[in-house]
Amino acid sequence: MIPGGLALAFAWLIVHRGTPTAALLPTFYLGGRDLVVGGALVVALGLAAGALPAWQAGRLKIVDALRRQG
């Protein structure tokens, strides 16, 4: 979740510094609502990406899990 949060903060920083292309490309606006939606997506995807492997590992017997690792 940390890389997603850093990417969201970096995007906000770039957008709020102005356009680096001397008005050749359209200007973007990243409002508060977009940051909240982006943050919620970062958290949801981070939890989903961690939940599936944890659920699968939780279903294994300890002996089998240790045997698989070695």
pLDDT digits (tens, 9 = 90+) for 2-36: 888 898 888 888 877 776 676 677 777 778 898 89
- The mean predicted confidence, pLDDT, of the chain is 82
Residue 48, domain extent = 2-69
DSSP state for residue 27 in the 8-state scheme: P
Domain count, the chain: 1
DSSP code, position 52? H
Residues in the chain: 70
